[in-house]
Structures are given as C-alpha cells and as structure tokens.
Amino acid sequence: MRALYERFLSNRESRETGEPSVVLEANADGVPRLFFSEGFALQSASVAFERLDAQRTPSPGGSSPGPLSQFEDEDENEQAEREEVVLGSYLDTVEGALVGQLNRSSDDFFQALTNFQDLSDQVSATVSMVRRLRSRIRSMRCDAVRGVLRVPRLACRQTNLISLQSKLVAMREVKQTCDKVHAAMLAEDYASTVGKIAAAKKTISDHLRDVRSLSHVAKRLDQFYELAISYMGSRWVNFAVASTWTTTRQDNKDERRRLSFSAAETPILELSGGVVAPLVEGLTRSGRMPHILTKFQQRCEEEAREIVNTVVLEYRAAAPTDDGGGGNDEGNARRSGSAPPLQQHQQNGDVSAARLNALSASAFQGCFETCLDHLFTNALAAIALHNFLRDYLDLAAAARDASPNDDDDDDDDGGGGGGGVFAEARARAPAVIRAHLQELKDDDLTTADGLAARSARATRSVAEASCKRMARLIALREEATSKSKLADLKKLWDVGSDFADAVDAATRSRAAASLRRALAVQSKAFLERQHARHKNELVTTLDSEKWQQVDVTPERQRALDRLATGLGSTGGPDAVVVSARELPPTHGRPRKELRGAMVDATSYKVVWSAVRLFEMVDAKLAVANSLPGLAADVVAKLVDLLRFFEARTRQLVLFAGALQSSAQLRTITARQLGLASQCLSLVIALAPHVRAAVAERLDVPSLLADLDAVARDYLDHHNKILSKFVAIIGDKLVEAARSLPKTNWDDSRHHNQAPTDDRRSQFVVDVAKNVVNMHAVLAKLLPREQLQEVFTNIYDLLATKVPHLFEAVNPEMPHGRKRVADDLKYLVSNVAKLDVQATNLKRLDMFIDAKYVSRNKQQA
C-alpha cells in the first residue's frame, strides 16, 4: 500500500509544496460534492458537467457561471479536451485522497499488531513464573506437614476403638433384649414386649445400622414386634363383641339407652386383669392405634351383619310354615331333618327380601326389636372403649402438663402423684387406668388428640353401620310392611325412633340418619298404599251411589265426636272395620228412624259414600297421630281425597252424571240434591276440626292453605246446589207457563161460581204443587237457615217471574179478571202457608191488585 502511494505521488505533477497528505486533502476540498455522493456514476465528461451545472444555485444578480462558461468561446473540440482535463484532475484528486487514507490505516494496523505480539510474550513469561512458584509452594507444604500427620492418625484410631467398644456394648444389649422379648412373649406380656422391641430397634437403627451380623436379629425382632402388635390388635378388635364387657350398671334397655357419649357418664369397666390399659399403652406407643381402630370398625360392622342374619334366621326358623303348597324349601328341609342352605337365607351376606317378607308382622316386630337390642349393646361397648381411650390419653396429658420438666420426680413417686392437676386426675380415674398410667411416656402423647378424634369417628361409624343395617332390613320388607296395619307400623316406628334417638344422644351426632330415613320411606309407602286403596274404593262407592240416606252407627258417631272435640282419631277403618263391599246400613230400620251425623250440635243426613269418606279421613288422621313425621304428607293426601270427592260429587249430582254411572239413576231429584248438599255441609263442618288436628303436627303451617282452599271449594259447591233448587222451580214455572195461552179466563161457565181447587187454572195448580213439594223435601234435609235461604230466593223468583208471565194475560170480562186474581191469590196463600218467612210475596200481591182487582173496581 505504501509503494502504491509513493508511485502515485511520483506520477502526479504537483506544484504545491508541503506534506503530501495535507496537500491531497486540501485539493480534495476543491472537488465538487457530486463526486462524493452515493450512486454517482461517471458516463462522460459532458454529462458530468451538465449535472454539475444543474446543481449550482443561481446568484442574486442572475445565473452563476458554470464550470464550462470560461470555454464558451472555444470550439467544440477544444471544449471537449478541456472538459476531460478538468474531469481528470478531479478524479486524480479523489484517487489521491483515497490512497492517502488507506496508507494511514495500514500504518495503524501494523503498529497494533506489533503491540499485541509484545503483550503475548509478556503473558507467556508470567505463566511460566506462576508455574514455578506453585511447584515450590507444594514442596514447602509437604515438608511442613509430613512430621505432624502422626498425631491425627493416632486420634482417629482411638475414636474408632471407642466406637467399636460402644457398638459391642449395644450389640450385647440387643442380644439380651432378644432373650427378654422371648421370655415376655411366653409370659404374654405384650405391652412390655412392644416397648423393649421398640427400644432395641431404635438402638439398631441409630448405632448398629452398618452391622450386617445383626440383620437376622433385626428380622427376628420385627417378627416378634408384628406378632405382639397383631395379638394386641386382635384383643382390642375382639372387644367389638359387647358380651366381653361387664359394667357396674344394671343390664336393662332403659338404663343402656340413657348412656351418653361423654366422659361424665363413662361406665367404670371392670375387666379381669386390667387388660385394656396395657393394650392402649402398647398400641399407642407403637403408632398402630389408627390402623387398629380401622380394623375395630370393620369388625363391628361384620358383627352387626352377623347379628342381623342370625336373628332373622332364628325367627324364620321359629315361624310357622303356612305355604300350603309344599313350596317352602325351608319347611321341607326342616321336615326332612336337614338344615336349609345358608345361600337361601342370604344374598351377598345380607338377608334376602323373600325371607323377611315371609315373616308375620308380629314375628318381624320381635326380630326387629331383638336386632336393635343387640346392636345397641354393641354400640354402647364401642362408646365405652372410646371413652376409656380418651380418658387414658387425657389423664396422661394432664400428667405431662403437671410436671413437664421433672423427670426425676416422676421416677420417684410413680408419675407425679404428689399433687397438682395430675393428682386430681389420678384420683378420679378408674383403678384399671391408674395402674398403667405411669408407664405412658411423654413421646407417646404427640398424637393423643388425633387418636381421640379418630376413635370418635370410628365409634360414630360403628353406630352408623348398625343403623344402616337396620335401615336395610326395613327396606327389604317395605312391600310387606306397607300392607300391614297401622298399629304394627306404629310399633315399628316407635321402636326404631327410640333406637335412633338413643344412638344420636349417645354419639352426639346424626348417626341414625339412615334409620330415620328408612322409617320415613316405609311410612310414606304405607301412606301411599293406603291412599291408593282409599281412592279406588271411593271411586267404586261414588259410581254405585244411589244417593239415599244411610244410618250413622254409634261407633261412627263416636269417631265424629272424638274429632269434633279434639280428642283425635283412633284409627278410622282400622278401628271400625268396614268392607268396601258392605251394603249401606239402611235395611232393617225405617227411613224416619235413620240417624244422621252430629257435628257441633247439628245433624247432617248423609249417604254411604260420605260415611266412607269420613272414615278415610279419620284413617289418615290416625296416621298423622301415630307417625308425626308424615303430617305434611297426610295433609297432601287429605287434600287430594277431599278434592276428588267434591269433583266427583259435582259431576254425578250437579251435572247429572249419575244417570250414566253404574247406579243408573233415572233422574236427579231434589231429595238427592239435598242429600248431596248435606254431605258437603258435613265436610265443611268437619274442615276446621281436621285442620286443627293436623296443624299442631305440621312444621310448615303454610300447608294448611290447601285445606282452606278445599273448604272454599265445598262451600261454593254447596251454594250451587242451593241455587239449583231455585233453578228447578224456575224450570217448573216455565213449563207450567205453557198452559197460560190455552186458558180461557172469560169462560162463562166459571161466572158466578165459587172458586174451588178443581176449577183453578193448570198453571197455578202446578206451580203451587211444585213449591209445596220442594218445601216438603227440603224441610226434612236442610237446616232451618239453609231452608230459609232457598225459599227466600224462590219467593223472589215468583215475585219477579209470575208478573212477567202474566203480562200477556188480559181478560176482557170482569169475571175473567176476577178469576185470574183469585188464582194468583190462591198461589200466594198456598205458598205463604209454608214454614218459612214469605216477605217477598207482597210484591206479587201488589201486582195482582194493580193489574186485576183495581181495574174491576174502576169499571164498577
């Protein structure tokens, strides 16, 4: 690069003097900027100079002269040569500047390369010096410590010997422990066995872990440990059978069922030799108590299943054989001298539904009570074990809290019995607990709260399992129980509820929820079956109802009195047994002597279907009284039954559906309407008493709104029947009015003759007869107030309808008008004789006087 630069300077003819690089940079300043712009391409000298002229800025006085303006006077050839010369000078200047820059850059690069080489040589020398220094230091260190190494080696040897001695001592202790464990196992002292094995295993794991010669000893200790724990666990689990316990309380149901799940009423368990406390100590120390509690729970559940299965088999074996067709395999097996196979009695370990349904109601009741008695005894045994374990842990914790840092005193006085909280706890503890309390170490109390809680859960699970087992028993016999009598179901309900209350009180939980739920389901099934039977019977009774009055027997009247006086029901059809095929009690007694139903000093003449309806209502009230938990369901069934009776009665009587029913009535008479009205009135009168009977057993009083709505429906139906009587008289008026146009009021044959009944017009005779007959029928059926209400409406109808019908009756002769007036007055007088107030008939008298009597007076 330097040679190129020198050659460039030698070839360049320059007049300037000074430093070449400075001269080149100065000359480069005279080169137009266009030559240094990006994208500049040299095509020809003329083009380059044209671009230069185009970039120049005009001067204020005109255009500035371009670089070629000085050659304008020359010819074209000279001008072209001049342009090439100027352009060449520009290019030479630019080239020179570039070469100068490259020259300076290469000098700097070579100088830096030289400096780097010098620095590399210095680093290599320094590394060599460090290497030599390290070698010297290593030699000095070896010389310094070689003589001192014997001291730590001797100390390490001494430590190893001491460690070997301690390991040998520990091995001797482990060997002695094995002999003691073997002797303790032979003596069945499993609690101390577990403690000794635990100490030996801790020694092996802490100090003799690397001693391979003790591997067989460790395995043997593990075998002894598992055997002892297994035996203690089996002993604890065997306490699930309540017969192994003896308590200081009397063994009776009432006393056992009052036992609560609290330490205050825990029975003092007098076990031979005090075997429970060592078990608690050993199992707690070993940490196996949670697992043992799980096994204990499983054993209790298995025991409950075995109890139920055994009791059911015994009751089934003692039950009489009543199959009749020789199809009873169990009976055939007994007669042949062989026992029936267990598979016939059980399905997957449970009692089969067929065997339970084959038991009679009394046999199942006894079976149920026996199962509950045994299961409750086992539940109390589980509760006693839990209380024992809890008291043991609590007293031990009290001992630890009383003297937390005084281990020496504990060794001297047997666990800190000198005073304080622990002394009071020991004084209250049973002897069987006090005998083993001082052996419980502090380290064993770290999980005391967890063990107590787990034991409580296991105990509640045992109680829940017993209740679920009994709930399963009830569910399997659901169909047979739903067909039983209410008295039998009530016994089952009472016994099951007492057991559930006792279990809940003992466990302080809802452990018997499954049993309560099963009893509720069974009771609802009974109610559903009863309601279906009642409804089907009511359908049949109403379809065949002749709507004739029946006699209310004294037994049924006493049931009505009990309901009306608030004494409650005694069972309805279960107390007064009436078959659905029984004939209505009308035969054998004259109609005048038929007794009505008395409610609140009012007598109601009723038909057979109404009597059956009351008995069904009484039966449902008996269910509510016997099974209080079904009060809401009973209200729903009562509402459904009453609504059905009202709707069907409306269809049969008010809408004349009885003409097409199985009763095949020819017509619906006023007497039948009156009897239907009396039946509705009876239900309306009983509605408040029924409401009061179920209100006290309902948790949700809003359910009574349905009963109130039913009572309003009955009242509306009753009012429509009363209106129907008025409508009947209206129809009779219209029918009798057809004879008015045919009547010749001016007939001379009736002139000057005294009016008699046979000479009255047909209209008057028919209307008077129908009204009188209606009164005769209703007076025997309706109360005085209702009779007055009906005939007040009938009189209003006569006072309004008769004038309208006689608007067109205008006799021309005076005797004709007199005859009309006499007939109408005859009608009024006959109607007025009835035993009701007839104030509304005055309007009819006024009409007669105004239209007929006053007109004759005017003409006279």
Instruction: Determine contact, residues 256/265, Cβ cutoff 8 Å.
Output: no
State residue 65's pLDDT score. Answer: 47
Residue 568: pLDDT band (50, 70, 90) is low
Give the percent of the chain with pLDDT over 70.
72
The CATH architecture of the domain made up of 740-859 is Up-down Bundle (1.20)
**Mean pLDDT highest for which of 9-23, 218-232, 584-598?**
218-232
Q: Copy the structure tokens of residue 736.
A: 């009798």
Residue 6: pLDDT band (50, 70, 90) is low
Residue 114: pLDDT band (50, 70, 90) is confident
Q: Copy the structure tokens of residue 63.
A: 């255009």
For residue range 403-421, list pLDDT tens digits in order: 555 444 444 333 333 333 2
Angle of helix 276-286 versus helix 361-402 axis, rounded to 10? 70
Report the run of H or E that residue 351 belongs to, with start and end. Answer: strand 350-351
**Cα separation of 672 and 576, whole Å?**
27
**Cα separation of 453 and 393, whole Å?**
11
For residue range 808-846, list pLDDT tens digits in order: 888 878 878 888 888 888 888 888 888 888 777 888 888
Instruction: Determine contact, residues 301/467, Cβ cutoff 8 Å.
Output: no
Alpha helices in 270-360 (DSSP H): 276-286, 289-318, 329-336, 342-345, 353-358
Q: Look at the block and give the residue holding tokens 């045992």.
A: 462
Indicate whether 679 pLDDT > 80. Answer: yes
**Residues, the chain, total?**
860
Higher pLDDT, 702 or 708: 708
The 3-state secondary structure of 65-94, one letter per residue: CCCCHHHCCCCHHHHHHHHHHHHHHHHHHH
For residue range 356-388, list pLDDT tens digits in order: 778 888 888 888 888 888 888 878 777 877 877
State residue 40's pLDDT score. Answer: 66
For residue range 227-282, list pLDDT tens digits in order: 888 888 887 777 766 544 444 344 444 444 443 333 333 333 444 335 677 777 77
Indicate whether 212 pLDDT > 80. Answer: no
CA 640 to centroid of chain Cα atoms: 28
Average pLDDT over residues 114-141: 89
Give the gyration radius of the chain's Cα atoms: 61
Q: Look at the block and give the residue holding tokens 């006090």.
A: 434
Give the percent of the chain with pLDDT over 90.
18
**Cα separation of 488 and 480, whole Å?**
11
**Cα separation of 178 and 338, whole Å?**
54
Predicted model pTM: 0.63
Q: Which residues pair with 351 in a beta bridge?
A: 346
From 793, 741, 816, 728, select the one nearest 767 (Cα to Cα).
Answer: 728
In this structure, are strands 602-604 and 350-351 parallel, antiparallel, or unpaired? unpaired
Instruction: Determine contact, residues 321/483, Cβ cutoff 8 Å.
Output: no
Instruction: Determine contact, residues 475/525, Cβ cutoff 8 Å.
Output: no
- Kindly list the domain boundaries of the chain, sorted by start residue: 2-132, 156-238, 253-258+272-390+430-507, 544-728, 740-859
**Mean pLDDT highest for which of 330-334, 645-649, 760-764, 826-830?**
645-649
Average pLDDT over residues 480-485: 85
Indicate whether 190 pLDDT > 70. Answer: yes
Angle at 602 between CA 600 and CA 607, to 5 degrees: 115
From 772, 769, 768, select the one nearest 827 (Cα to Cα).
Answer: 768
> 3-class DSSP state for residue 346?
strand
DSSP calls for 571-628: -GGGTS---TTPPPTTTTS-GGG---EEETTEEE--BHHHHHHHHHHHHHHHHHHH-G
State residue 590's pLDDT score. Answer: 56
Q: What single-letter DSSP state applies at residue 350? A: E
Indicate whether 577 pLDDT > 60. Answer: no
Q: Copy the structure tokens of residue 311.
A: 């009791």
Alpha helices in 627-669 (DSSP H): 631-649
Angle at 515 between CA 512 and CA 518, to 5 degrees: 150
CA 704 to centroid of chain Cα atoms: 26
Instruction: Determine contact, residues 201/221, Cβ cutoff 8 Å.
Output: yes
State residue 634's pLDDT score. Answer: 92
Residue 613: pLDDT band (50, 70, 90) is very high
Indicate whether 860 pLDDT > 60. Answer: no
**Cα separation of 295 and 673, whole Å?**
74
Indicate whether 642 pLDDT > 90. Answer: yes
Q: Copy the structure tokens of residue 111.
A: 């100088």
Q: Copy the structure tokens of residue 730.
A: 């209206």
> 3-class DSSP state for residue 347?
strand
Angle at 160 between CA 158 and CA 162, to 5 degrees: 70
- Alpha-carbon distances of 11 from 2, 20, 31, 104, rounded to whole Å: 14, 13, 20, 20
Instruction: Determine contact, residues 801/733, Cβ cutoff 8 Å.
Output: yes
Average pLDDT over residues 578-586: 46
CB contact burial 108-120 (16+ within 10 A = b; e otherwise): eeeeeeeeeeeee
Residue 1: pLDDT band (50, 70, 90) is low
Q: Copy the structure tokens of residue 466.
A: 């017993």
Q: What contacts 674, CB < 8 A, 6 or more positions away?
A: 605, 777, 778, 780, 781, 782
Indicate whether 53 pLDDT > 70. Answer: no
From 464, 282, 477, select the one nearest 383 (Cα to Cα).
Answer: 464
Instruction: Determine contact, residues 731/724, Cβ cutoff 8 Å.
Output: no
The burial of 22, by beta-carbon neighbours within 10 Å (0-12 exposed, 13-18 middle, 19 or more buried), is given as exposed
Instruction: Determine contact, residues 212/167, Cβ cutoff 8 Å.
Output: no
Indicate whether 532 pLDDT > 80. Answer: yes
